[in-house]
Amino acid sequence: MSGRTVIENCAVATVDAHDTEHATGHLVLSGGRIEAVGPGPAPAGLGGVTRRIDATGHLATPGLINTHHHFYQWLTRGLAQDAHLFDWLRASYPVWACIDEPMVHAAARASLAMMARGGVTTAVDHHYLFPRGAGDLLGAVIRAAGGIGVRLTAARGAMDLGASDGGLPPDFAVEATDDALAATEDAVRAHHDPAPDAMVRVAVAPCSPFSVTTKLLCESAELARRLGVRLHTHGSETAEEAEFCHERFGMGPTAYLESAGWLGPDVWMAHCVHMTDGDITAFARTGTGVAHCPSSNARLAAGIARVPDLLSAGVPVGLGVDGTASNEAGELHTELRNALLVARLGPHRERALTVRQALRLGTAGGARVIGRDAELGSLEPGKLADLVLWRLDGLGHSTITDPVAALVLGPPAPVTLATVGGVPVVEAGRLLTADEDAVARAAGAEARRLAAAAAR
């Protein structure tokens, strides 16, 4: 990005440490970063302004951060519609085991396009299925993110505990432990960029307590710490998972994961629905993060995560779409609303979560969970220019005076502009980096090819 971009006349929710907001404010972007943010118009006499945006009727927020997803699942949406997690997985594994590189590339492009159009500027893809001979699946995801222009954490997953060893996945869907570890190390060395403005980070991410061996968990933790990258997995998602851990290991999922070296400020876990008070204390004590996925938890009848308790204990919490086979909508801005609504169905009722806490989960909270809060998650000078202008003067929002309430409680707000490092990715609700209809056609074709392969 050359020159300065000035955005003026919009409401601004900075989501900084003090929740600073401006009813009418400005932003100045320069060199891929935020140079200034404040109330009223931009300072007069700024040189080198190449673009000036009158954002009247809009709210500016940090770009949304999706902390948990499985991009490949875009091809298997709508399956096992009335199943809980374990039955849904048993129905899905045989189909998923037929994926290949072109399928994953098309699914990743569609997943990323859908999210970007809804204001996501950073996303995590947790990919844990690597069928023999399927090609370079992680490379396909990374190529797709580069093409769409969204920052990516590629979480290199793995499963090595097949059904014959007491795991949930069928034997044909798992890798050998040492192969998974070697491929994960290769992925970090090939793709991980530790730079503050990185477009691609890699995390080490064995799939879940019921699909990986204790050896893989322990050695993954050692590997990630040796390479200086983060750790991600699923944890405490369902009552059935807790039962599995008690039967097999004589303890709950959090105690089991802690025994394998899996609590710490460099770890985040998806779901964390079935947490005891002691589990929450352990997460808070160690700085372990949570990717809260309210729609997926509802779709799979997993339960209501204790987000208000996690937040009051000081646990870092972000939001996740989760795979689109368990959240067919595939968007994150709708999860702001769903997080608030679902939390209010729990014991804290109307005191569960405010609209501003919901926005924080999707922005600053997510940045902290993926270890990028120094450069992402709030609109502050020096941070990367990842931001969204939400249009709030249209039919869906014009009568809600509080812009944050309009964004969180109203219908999905149109995205007038989304930038990543100051570069526009979405304008006037349309993706600039790809032809949405072509992305949809390619994903549809690959979904049919996958269904045909699975039927053979």
Q: Which residues bind Zn ion (CB under 5 A)?
A: 270, 322
Q: Which residues contact 285 (CB under 8 A, 6 or more apart)?
A: none
Q: Which is nearer to Zn ion, 269 or 343 (CB)?
A: 269
Shortest Cβ distance from residue 232 to Zn ion (Å)? Answer: 10
Q: Which is nearer to Zn ion, 35 or 241 (CB)?
A: 241
The distance of Cα 322 from the centroid of its chain, to the nearest Å, equals: 7
Shortest Cβ distance from residue 327 to Zn ion (Å)? Answer: 9
Shortest Cβ distance from residue 322 to Zn ion (Å)? Answer: 5
Q: Which is nearer to Zn ion, 302 or 379 (CB)?
A: 302
C-alpha 85/C-alpha 300 separation (Å) is 6
Q: Please work out, in degrees rounded to the nearest 5, the angle formed at the alpha carbon of residue 212 by the alpha carbons of 361 and 132.
A: 105
Q: Which is nearer to Zn ion, 84 or 225 (CB)?
A: 84
Question: Which residue number places its CB atom closest to Zn ion?
Answer: 322
Q: Please work out, in degrees rounded to the nearest 5, the angle formed at the alpha carbon of residue 386 by the alpha carbons of 383 and 389.
A: 125
Q: Please work out, in degrees rounded to the nearest 5, the angle formed at the alpha carbon of residue 330 by the alpha carbons of 95 and 160.
A: 40
Q: Which is nearer to Zn ion, 37 or 267 (CB)?
A: 267
Strand bridging mode 430-431 / 231-235: unpaired
Q: Which is nearer to Zn ion, 21 or 322 (CB)?
A: 322
Shortest Cβ distance from residue 21 to Zn ion (Å)? Answer: 33
Shortest Cβ distance from residue 160 to Zn ion (Å)? Answer: 18
Kindly state the tokens that stand for 309.
């308790």
Shortest Cβ distance from residue 190 to Zn ion (Å)? Answer: 24
Q: Which is nearer to Zn ion, 270 or 392 (CB)?
A: 270
The answer to whether 26 and 7 are in contact (CB under 8 A) is: yes
Kindly state the tokens that stand for 193.
């960029």
Shortest Cβ distance from residue 84 to Zn ion (Å)? Answer: 14
Question: Of 176, 196, 195, whose CA–CA distance to 184 is shortest?
Answer: 176
Q: Which is nearer to Zn ion, 111 or 416 (CB)?
A: 111
Long-range contact list for 243-250, CB < 8 A, 24+ apart? 244/168, 244/209, 244/210, 245/209, 245/210, 248/166, 249/214
Shortest Cβ distance from residue 71 to Zn ion (Å)? Answer: 11
